[in-house]
Structure 1
Amino acid sequence: MDPLPIARLQFATTTSFHFLFVLLTLGLVTVVAITQTRATISGTPQLLRMTRFWGRLYVINYALGIATGIVMEFQFGLTWTGLSAFAGDVFGAPLAIETLVAFFLESTFLGLWIFGWGRLNKWVHLATIWLVTLTAYASALFIMVANSFLQNPVGSHPENGVLRLDDFGALLTNPALVASLPHVLAAALATGGFFVVGVSAYHFIKRTPEVDFFRRSMRTGVVTALVGSILVIQQGFAQFGELAKYQPHKLDGNSTGVATPLGVMVTIGFVMFLCTVIGTVLLYRNWLMRARPLLYLMVPAIALPFGAAIGGWLVREIGRQPWLVWGKLRTADAISGVSAGKILFSFVAFGVLFAALAVADWVLLSRIARRGPEPEEAPAEPELPVLSGV
């Protein structure tokens, strides 16, 4: 067996799984931060309940998404040692910053937010969720800095057969980053918006007694999805001009093999935009919550941004081949000296792990989503059980 296609398929699977978790995490944390800001300023109890409900779903997705990210970074040292040896000085810098600064700070602030309910001053508690949001976006920034370097290796020079970093600022102004980062962040907003709309639609289908709660949530989700859909299309087409400068061959979809995923991504993107426009019009006319046939379509529509995201990621990665670092290092030269059998074994093991994580994430999210928000008379913090003799 040839180890190269197995290793590529393994990393593609790992990256795709992790990317889906990241999109929903970024989208939901933005919704939670905005909702808590409105609750803190207005003092509306319903907005505070919305913060807790959608925040609980965000935390579940965040926790399970961490494992996929850890496994993905392990693969750089296990399967792609050629990349680490050749470009580790450059490629590793943004990854180290993402792990040591953005990720650890995000986890710390998230812990303060979770355990600070009813204990921290309301403005301090609000600040913690915004710090969680900002560090989450910073994490996405540095991940995209690393990936954009692979697409367009700026800020480095070859020395003794390896790449050396000579301008970190060039990594932050990389045309491949400037064009793609807003597109990814917009996709996250659309994902969070569609998720909130789909869950709210489910409760209207089930004729929930929490009418006001999910009416407010539906409005928030529709507006978020509309903004995300507009930006994701605008920023998506804006990338074509930059691609023509550093990877002109990628625009020829038939020769690079990206025609199909590109078509899927563009089609789903316009379907999402159409859905959000219709939803906004119906929302303005106060018809959206009463249009039951549309409510049944909103629930499976949660999957639309995920499908578009996978298509977009395939376009970005497949279109770079046969280069791992564009024009500098071929993918075939970056693979570790590991037998195909061992890579296949790890691929199967990781595949089973990711499938289990995906199922666990779906089960937990759907269970909490179906249960709905806590009752209005519920205490701000659940009481801890008292153990005899303690």
Structure 2
Amino acid sequence: MNSITFNFTVICMNDLIENHHLQNSTEPHWMESAAHKSLLFSSTAIGAVIGLIPAVPLIDLLGIRIVLTASGTISAIGSLLFPMAVDIDYYAVVACRILQGLGISIVFTVVGVIPGVWAPKSETGTFLAILSCAFQLSVVLCMPVSGFLCESSLGWKSIYYIFGGLTLFAFMLFFSFYTDSPRFHKNVSEKELKKIEHGKLEEKKESVPYWEICTDITVLTAWLSVFGGNFGFTILTLYGPTYLKDVLNFDVRETGIASALPYVLSALTKFAGGRISDRMDHLSEKTRFTFCAAVSQASVVFGLIVMAMTSNRRIAQIAYTFAITSSGLNIVGNIKCIQLRCRQHVHFAIAVISFFAYAIHIGSPIIVGMITSSAGSTTENWSHLFIIVAIVTVVTNLPFPFLTSEEPGPFVKIIKVPSESV
């Protein structure tokens, strides 16, 4: 929520411009500059990329518990200082946004790592689905709360103080309760530990084999698939509301509802998909994660094509909602494939995916601007954009069913132990 708060409060911050001009300043305020605001939107992604650089060695050295707590504290600091930064200067605001980005740099990595450690083998999909719902729920909660506080007597600055304070409280709880292994947790009984570890092979702790992972065909294929899926998903999430409002002429209230609804449905679909995947144990792991990945990516492509071909407002809204809702299955598709392949090194593989996601976030405004601002009708330009993104998504996902494997990679060192010792 800290990283996306500015996306909502930017419409409430006109008081900064008014106060600036009341001081008889002839210079325009940075809030009046589209370029300055664009940098603020991208600053969290820049901070996240910076945070990813030391993330993998720090996780190896210190563990998830310490590194995630530190990143959460940095995120909270970025939010708590933001209201003061706007009174200092523009670069102080950029610094706070970068701090918020540093705070989310390993969130996606953690979502992929924790289920492998804490989930029983038969419930990994469910764990992945539940943890990854945070991405949808943060938007669903942040939007109405920010809107309420913006219009209240507390004002938009209270949003940053409240979210920053709640973040500190949440991570204090996390640090006091979480451990990097169920074996060392005071609340895990011997019976529960046996259930968590049943059927798992003991993995040897070692340094990350970066080159072996980066040249493994399964990992490369999964990375390519996730890149294409993230590209389509990012375009939909960032610019779908703009398309609904500016091209299909939804009003602000309708756009808000149309934008929030898919995230709620996506969280529900993701949870259901995780449970179903875990219960279909009569099928191989590859069949299960390939099916989920195919449904996820095909839904994004379908939504993009329908939005490109129709001018009907309701059909476009249904296609947009369906695409984002179904895309939630990706977490038990591509990500589960990478988790099974990389095992104890999954944090590096998912850190690379995070890097791709943040790079897409930074670069997509340039691509969208080039296509939608060219000559021709606005509707036609957006249609061209959606078709291009759909083609990219299809091409990057075609190899996935044929070149991936559910088996641990040759770079994964496993200590085979008798089942009774577990």
TM-score bracket, shorter-length normalisation: 0.3 to 0.5
Q: TM-score, normalised by structure 2?
A: 0.32
TM-score scaled by structure 1? 0.33
